[in-house]
Amino acid sequence: MERDGFDRLTIWNLLQDAASRHEDKEIVYRKERRTFREFRDRVQSFAAGLQHIVGVKKGDVVACLDWDTMRYLEAYYAVPSAGGVLHTVNIRYPPELIYYTMSHASDSFVIIRDEFVPMIEKFKDMFSFVKGWIVYSDDGAGIETSLKPLYRYEEVLTSGNELEPNQDENSRATIFYTSGTTGMPKGVTFTQRQIVLHSLAVQIAVTLPPLNITTQDVAMPLVPMFHVHTWGLPFSSLVGGMKYVLPGRYDFQKIPEIIDTEGVTLTASVPSILYMLLNSPTIMQHSGALGKLKALIGGASLPTGLARKAEELGITVVGAYGLSETCPALTISNYNDRALMLPEEKRRELRYRAGVPFPFVSLRVVNEDFKDVPKDGKSVGEIVVRAPWLTEGYYRDEAKTAELWKGGWLHTGDLGVIDEYGYLLIVDREKDAVKSGGEFIPSLIVESAISEMKGIGEVAIIGVSSEQWGERPVAVATCAAQIEEKDVINHLNKYVEMGRIQKWWIPDRVIFVDAIPKTSTGKADKKKLKEMVKL
Amino acid sequence: MERDGFDRLTIWNLLQDAASRHEDKEIVYRKERRTFREFRDRVQSFAAGLQHIVGVKKGDVVACLDWDTMRYLEAYYAVPSAGGVLHTVNIRYPPELIYYTMSHASDSFVIIRDEFVPMIEKFKDMFSFVKGWIVYSDDGAGIETSLKPLYRYEEVLTSGNELEPNQDENSRATIFYTSGTTGMPKGVTFTQRQIVLHSLAVQIAVTLPPLNITTQDVAMPLVPMFHVHTWGLPFSSLVGGMKYVLPGRYDFQKIPEIIDTEGVTLTASVPSILYMLLNSPTIMQHSGALGKLKALIGGASLPTGLARKAEELGITVVGAYGLSETCPALTISNYNDRALMLPEEKRRELRYRAGVPFPFVSLRVVNEDFKDVPKDGKSVGEIVVRAPWLTEGYYRDEAKTAELWKGGWLHTGDLGVIDEYGYLLIVDREKDAVKSGGEFIPSLIVESAISEMKGIGEVAIIGVSSEQWGERPVAVATCAAQIEEKDVINHLNKYVEMGRIQKWWIPDRVIFVDAIPKTSTGKADKKKLKEMVKL
């Protein structure tokens, strides 16, 4: 019996559900405020316009180039609902890589914010594969451009057509490219079903302590919308009935004020964005709002020093872990039963870890023989996972796909340990790992230890070759105060005495720089660092 | 790429996930205590034994006749994981109907508790379709029986075979029969995927206020395990990492003690079971435990008087609504955004209603033209629903299936109103409805009003034919004190003055009886009542 596919795990059904259960809840971007119901109506109209005016057919890739805006959020829902595949283009890439990814994904249509139009126009002849450009500006003003065929976003939206929603849950919904510190970016894709199941699991996890999210929470992720579909929060937050705030282009002068006036209680970001938030010149004018703020931190391991600074301001910090390849949710530092038995001080430490698996995630830390390492907080192994929302593979790259899925488990390429409480701690990216005397040095733990030192800004450990040891660690750091190499070494020696790190993990050198170079997703770019310090 | 089906929404994957995330959590039945991990291992062994020793093949129906025990819970997981379809036989049926349903479902194998063996033995020649009987007793003692082929549960479990788990999410997992106050019982079936999605939605809903369920809660449903798979709680509670307590055969002398000693914080039942719990002779010896207890009440509309009595003892009462046909979750009295704005006294009233839809449930209240009635708390219509976990139809009954799914929506056969806060209130079963002067009298509201009267035990409204009005209502009640018909009428007249009921809803007569007859699932049997009072 055909029943319009209402039992399918599709993005359209997810939106319909959110709009019917939480019809009055708001989505806010600058002066635009829409209820879930109004938002649903706009998505419906825009998706219908994509089908009937623009001519999007099932499987067509539709790119989007924008900051974190209302229309981008509309595209998140409308493109898959119209049958298209949303390509969230990494706008932090240089134009050459933007072109590479758009060409590799075969983008048929492009939704583009006015300010990105000039960059594209420069190379417009190369975009012959694009069959339509849908442009818009925040103020609705006309945009002068030679791109064609050209569609105005609001005209597409108001075309008055009927949507035939894409109810095939196994159809591809998104594609994006991993930042790839080495080699060319690799494309990963996700289906509607994967995104919906991911949303349910994320929503179940965030309702648990210490986040304790309810419909009264207000979400404003500071994860760029091109980055792993904002960790799925644009979907899970609507499932959870949370007011959703879009920050636009990140302006840390203004973000504390938005948090305050919109009553934001949940944010999410990589550590470097948290760092920028804490160092915002206006943050202390809005310190009252920080006591209610919960910050989910993923994308890179959370340095303890940074987490403590945030918590001194009243922010509850919770670690999480995932990859572009994994949609991304893998682990989150919920309190599990063992953590709930611990004193607050100890529990807080666990909050800064990668955490425990989300529902439906199987996670193992394995040695070279693919056997699980002991859960002793010390034994390092590679993290391999299974879950219902992992990418099928790298787009148009069978060799790398086979490597990713070797043995039927997705290989994260990250090294981790699991402690006696069941909490995962990421100790290194496999490819960034420093192997000294045949043993891995968990550089993220050393970085975290250095970050706890007063006056230290950001820090990264890199490996330099050593005749005797194969490799030895070197620390590169920024600092606000007068700190010398020997201060850092003394600081770390104390950690050795406390039993928190090993003597041989202490870097051979500490080099101070003005800034740590970052990848486009805000992680320390260790490849560039190695070139910088030329050791 | 075949990856062992780990991304499938199957009961085996659900169990694996629960056992890995909450390995130390306990399941308790009398003196048997098992961790989720031990439970998973037993399920795995039993399911493997079903495949290899008993010979269960994909799609074979495997019946279970038992009270609410550990082994029944093992069967809940093991039968679908082995590829079978679990038939949860209604052991409250008379033998004739038990035979009817087992024959109609074509049960190939039967898992049976010792005490039900004699009943079956009497008619054993009629069960020629059964290819194997798997018997057990709590004490593990041998059971003397002439049933054959005969298997001992523990021998099946310890056979040492490997399980080949059924990872087809769309395979049928369960079948059971609706109690059907009229006509023969009708079979409904559910797939693995439906049960898993249902569990996720239930888990998301119970974490919200006022239930605020976390992993620290302890569940002991008092919903018989033959009844709509205990509302899905045996699955959702494991997803949610809750300790799970099985009460065995309900003994209200002992249940308060179990609640107290096991620290039960969440129960679930129909109103009549709540009534029996509140009237347990031992309840006041364990009154301290009641302050932490949350009671989910569904299966029949919750009379306000009963809810208030429970809350006076410290129990938080939350209404819910669903049918056998709907797996069953449809609505639950979570606080939505509007309710959260209300004062506690008003919010409490909403808690006693059927509530707001679970995630992924579309629910409408429609008039005869299939148009939505106004959400004004007054306009009565039929409740029709869509959700990803509704039964495909009645087993081997195309005509009734077509009726159930008329127009692509599942027709609940219940009449309801939606109030200005978005809360559903069930006002009647369509077939029990009293239609007076062409208008429905919402008998559940009248019953609830009478139940608030001091001294009234249980009450049911039935319709009797009237020359003038078509039908008129009559109340049938049990009472502890000296109450006369005129006292009830006076009581109701006050409610008319308060504007809570209409004058013409007041029953023409009030008849006192020693006990209200019940259907096998604990609802007032209105058909039998009508015969009893012979009006």
Can you tell me the mean pLDDT for A450-467? 88
> What is the per-residue pLDDT for A374?
96
Q: Say whether A17 and B337 touch across the interface (CB within 8 A).
A: no
Domain B250-429 class in CATH: alpha beta
A298 contact partners, CB below 8 Å, separation of at least 6: A231, A268, A270, A319, A320, A321, A322, A328
Q: Determine the distance in angstroms separating the CA of B389 from the nearest CA of chain A, rounded to an integer.
A: 7
Dihedral in degrees, nearest 10, Cα atoms B205, B210, B216, B220: -80
Show the beta-strand stretches assigned E in B141-273. 150-152, 172-178, 186-191, 218-219, 243-246, 266-269
Residues of B in contact with A405 (CB under 8 A): 1, 3
Residues of A in contact with B340 (CB under 8 A): 215-216
Q: Is A317 helix (H, G, I), strand (E, B) or coil?
A: strand
How far is it, in rounded angstroms, from Cα A220 to Cα A215? Answer: 14
Nearest to B386 among A6, A201, A340 (CB): A6
Q: Determine the distance in angstroms separating the CA of A20 from the nearest CA of chain B, rounded to an integer.
A: 8
CATH node for A433-533: 3.30.300.30
Q: Is B319 helix (H, G, I), strand (E, B) or coil?
A: strand
Can you tell me the mean pLDDT for A370-399? 95
Q: Determine the distance in angstroms separating the CA of B7 from the nearest CA of chain A, rounded to an integer.
A: 4
How far is it, in rounded angstroms, from Cα A175 to Cα A86? Answer: 6
Nearest to B310 by CA among B259, B271, B363, B266: B271
> What is the per-residue pLDDT for B527?
81
* Helix B344-351 × helix B304-312 angle, to 10°: 120
Residues of B in contact with A37 (CB under 8 A): none
Q: Determine the distance in angstroms separating the CA of A359 from the nearest CA of chain B, rounded to an integer.
A: 7
pLDDT in tens, A298-340: 977 788 889 999 999 999 999 999 999 999 999 999 999 899 9
Residues of A in contact with B216 (CB under 8 A): 337, 340
According to CATH, the topology of domain A11-185 is: Rossmann fold (3.40.50)
- A232, A329 contact by CB (below 8 A): yes
Structure tokens at A1: 């019996």
Residues of A in contact with B263 (CB under 8 A): none
Strands B85-88 and B32-35: unpaired
Q: Which helix (H) or strand (E) holds B427?
A: strand B424-429
Q: Say whether A4 and B241 touch across the interface (CB within 8 A).
A: no
- In terms of Cβ atoms closer than 10 Å to its own Cβ (0-12, 13-18, 19+), residue B281 is exposed
- A325, A404 contact by CB (below 8 A): yes
Nearest to A203 among B7, B204, B393 (CB): B204
- pLDDT(A133) > 60: yes
- B274, B294 contact by CB (below 8 A): no
Q: Say whether B386 and A3 touch across the interface (CB within 8 A).
A: yes
How high does pLDDT run on average in chain A? 92
Nearest to A215 among B241, B337, B362 (CB): B337
> What is the per-residue pLDDT for B142?
74
A165 contact partners, CB below 8 Å, separation of at least 6: A5, A10, A12, A47, A81
- Which of A12, A15, A17, A242 is the best mutation test for B, with the most CBs of B within 10 A? A17
How far is it, in rounded angstroms, from Cα A357 to Cα A378? Answer: 19
Task: Name which of A72-86, A519-533, B442-456 the model is least confident about.
Answer: A519-533
- pLDDT(A196) > 80: yes
Q: At residue A99, what are phi and psi to the nearest 5 degrees?
A: -60, -45
Q: Convert A49-67 to b/e letters by CB count within 10 Å (16 or more is b).
A: bbbbbbebeeebbbbbbbb
> What is the per-residue pLDDT for B188?
97
CATH node for B434-533: 3.30.300.30
How far is it, in rounded angstroms, from Cα B458 to Cα B525? Answer: 12
Q: Say whether A17 and B216 touch across the interface (CB within 8 A).
A: no
- B190, B173 contact by CB (below 8 A): yes
Q: Say whether B336 and A22 touch across the interface (CB within 8 A).
A: yes
How far is it, in rounded angstroms, from Cα A298 to Cα A277? Answer: 15
pLDDT in tens, A336-374: 989 999 999 899 889 999 999 999 999 999 998 999 999
Residues of A in contact with B392 (CB under 8 A): 1
Nearest to A209 among B3, B214, B356 (CB): B214
> What is the per-residue pLDDT for A272?
82
Q: Determine the distance in angstroms separating the CA of A15 from the nearest CA of chain B, rounded to an integer.
A: 10
Residues of chain B with pLDDT under 50: 1-2
Q: Convert B414-445 to b/e letters by CB count within 10 Å (16 or more is b).
A: bbbbbbebbbbbbbbbeebbbebeeebbbbbb
Range B444-449 contact pairs with CB under 8 angstroms and sequence separation of 24 or more: B444/B301, B445/B501, B445/B505, B446/B473, B446/B475, B446/B492, B446/B501, B446/B505, B446/B506, B446/B507, B447/B301, B447/B303, B447/B475, B448/B301, B448/B302, B448/B303, B448/B304, B448/B305, B449/B304, B449/B491, B449/B492, B449/B495, B449/B500, B449/B501
Strands of the B186-191 sheet, one edge to the other: B150-152, B132-136, B107-113, B61-65, B85-88, B172-178, B186-191
Q: Indicate where chain A has its CATH 3.30.300.30 domain(s).
A: 433-533
> What is the per-residue pLDDT for A438?
66
- B153, B135 contact by CB (below 8 A): yes
Nearest to A318 by CA among A246, A195, A213: A213
Residues of A in contact with B405 (CB under 8 A): 1, 3
Residues of B in contact with A16 (CB under 8 A): 362
Residues of B in contact with A25 (CB under 8 A): 337
Q: Say whether B208 and A200 touch across the interface (CB within 8 A).
A: no
Q: Indicate where chain A has its CATH 3.40.50.12780 domain(s).
A: 11-185, 250-430
- Which of A4, A6, A330 is the best mutation test for B, with the most CBs of B within 10 A? A6
CATH architecture of B11-186: 3-Layer(aba) Sandwich (3.40)
How far is it, in rounded angstroms, from Cα B290 to Cα B284? Answer: 9
Q: Indicate where chain B has its CATH 3.30.300.30 domain(s).
A: 434-533
User: HSE (CB half, 13 Å, CA atoms) of B273?
Assistant: 25
Q: Is A357 helix (H, G, I), strand (E, B) or coil?
A: strand
Q: Say whether A389 and B207 touch across the interface (CB within 8 A).
A: no
Q: Is A179 helix (H, G, I), strand (E, B) or coil?
A: coil
A271 Cα distance to chain centroid? 11
Q: At residue B247, what are phi and psi to the nearest 5 degrees?
A: -85, -5
Residue type at B445 in one-letter notation:
I
CATH architecture of A250-430: 3-Layer(aba) Sandwich (3.40)
Can you tell me the mean pLDDT for A447-460? 89
Nearest to A233 by CA among A185, A298, A278: A298
Interface confidence (ipTM) of the complex: 0.86
- pLDDT(A132) > 60: yes
pLDDT in tens, B136-174: 998 877 788 999 999 999 999 998 889 999 999 999 999
Q: Indicate where chain B has its CATH 3.40.50.12780 domain(s).
A: 11-186, 250-429
Q: At residue A460, what are phi and psi to the nearest 5 degrees?
A: -140, 140
Residues of B in contact with A22 (CB under 8 A): 336-337
A374 contact partners, CB below 8 Å, separation of at least 6: none
Q: Say whether A6 and B388 touch across the interface (CB within 8 A).
A: yes
User: Measuring CA to CA, how many Å separate A88 from each of A75, A486, B514?
Assistant: 10, 45, 69
> What is the per-residue pLDDT for A2?
46
Structure tokens at B291: 């302050």
| Prior bond of A210 cis (ω within 30°) | yes
How far is it, in rounded angstroms, from Cα B450 to Cα B185? Answer: 31
Structure tokens at A521: 């997703």
Q: Say whether B3 and A392 touch across the interface (CB within 8 A).
A: no
> What is the per-residue pLDDT for B183?
64
Q: Determine the distance in angstroms separating the CA of A40 from the nearest CA of chain B, rounded to an integer.
A: 15
Q: Say whether A20 and B340 touch across the interface (CB within 8 A).
A: no
Q: Which residues pair with B466 in a beta bridge?
A: B470
